[in-house]
Amino acid sequence: MKVGIFTAIFEPAEGWTLEKVLRYLKKIGYEAVEISAKKHVDADDVIKGRAREIRRTIDKYGIMPSSLSYHSNHIDADPRKRDEINSKFKKVVQAAQQLEISIVNTFSGLNVPFETLYPHPVTNVPKVKEAWAEFASVFGDIVDFAAEHAVKIAVEVHFGYLVYNLRTAERMLREIDSKSLGFNYDPTHYVWQGIDPTIPIKKFGDKIFHVHAKDVEIMADRLAEAGLLAFSSDFRAPSESWRFRIPGYGNLNWGRLVEALREVGYDYVLSAEIEEPVFPKEVAVEKAYKFLKAYT
């Protein structure tokens, strides 16, 4: 496996151009990069003729582009916004093909309030059925489009969207049966919900196209009082009882996790996603690399 990182942590407004990011990551030792298609690559620029130039910049630093990422709500309840999102996303798929990047990461989306997924009152049940039908239609078209462009779509299972736990992840694969649809596996979104993170690996096997390497710290002393859903207003520390951390600073057993990935034949990238509330950005980026390198 290669050690990679998601570039979303580097803000263009702070001077972090794609080339500056690559130069910095090369010095640390990173071997792969998951490129934000919202911050560091513009799909319109690629399609309009800059593909070779951008690819040359990437290749200059000898870092493999593991994926483009464009996380979006593909079934937004607002039809106009949904059309804008999916039109842009298809351009990202085209850009990925032109840049010779085979994977695009995203979310599933949701067109009803998240609490509707709870089956009470019973009037929620038909709404959820309709949401799945709409998802299968809209996202199925996106997956077909990706297949036509030799690109795979990797959905990140994430609380707040239609595909948010093990059961809904399984249902997504039943609703849309395609070799071009799989997962951007992030263990933390399972762990904080109380799900053993090795179970999705064993269940989904070769449907895991990409991996987010991130940890989650459960604060047991607060959990008993606050519960899992005691969210605060700070995204970097989203709950009183748990928070995302860089690999090695949370509750995940990385030896067990990487072993499970190897057992199903995963041999691609461990892409560090930095959502770290304690260490400064540069410190977190360097610590994440050193920790993950020991497992590759």
Q: Which helix (H) or strand (E) holds 286?
A: helix 281-293
State residue 226's pLDDT score: 85
- Whether pLDDT at 120 is above 70: yes
CATH fold of 2-215+246-293 reads TIM Barrel (3.20.20)
pTM of the model: 0.96
**pLDDT digits 0-9 by tens, 65-93:** 999 999 999 999 999 999 999 999 999 99
Instruction: Name the one residue in this structure whose structure tokens are 């540069």.
Output: 282
State residue 240's pLDDT score: 82
123-150: average pLDDT: 96
Q: How far apart are CA 109 and CA 100, in angstroms?
A: 26
| Domain ranges for the chain | 2-215+246-293
Q: Tell me the C-alpha to C-alpha distance, in Å, between residue 197 and each of 178, 214, 259.
A: 24, 12, 12
- Whether pLDDT at 231 is above 80: no
Helical segments of the chain, H only = 18-28, 43-45, 51-60, 79-98, 124-148, 166-175, 188-191, 198-204, 220-226, 254-263, 281-293
Whether residue 244 contacts residue 275, with contact meaning beta carbons closer than 8 Å, is answered with yes
Sign of the torsion angle spanned by Cα atoms 215, 151, 8, 227: negative
Angle at 111 between CA 103 and CA 189, to 5 degrees: 55
Beta strands in 156-202 (DSSP E): 181-185
State residue 161's pLDDT score: 97
State residue 119's pLDDT score: 84
User: Strand pairing partners for 104?
Assistant: 68, 153
- Whether pLDDT at 235 is above 70: no
State residue 102's pLDDT score: 98
* DSSP-based three-state secondary structure for 207: helix
Q: Tell me the C-alpha to C-alpha distance, in Å, between residue 183 and each of 4, 11, 255, 270.
A: 17, 26, 21, 13
State residue 34's pLDDT score: 98
Whether residue 96 contacts residue 58, with contact meaning beta carbons closer than 8 Å, is answered with no
**pLDDT digits 0-9 by tens, 38-72:** 999 999 999 999 999 999 999 999 999 999 999 99
Contacts 24+ apart (CB under 8 A), 163-169: 163/107, 163/108, 164/117, 164/189, 165/190, 165/193, 165/195, 166/190, 166/195, 166/199, 166/200, 166/203, 169/200, 169/204
State residue 236's pLDDT score: 67
State residue 67's pLDDT score: 98
Rg for the chain (alpha carbons), in Å? 19
Could you tell me whether strands 215-218 and 242-245 are parallel, antiparallel, or unpaired per DSSP bridges? antiparallel
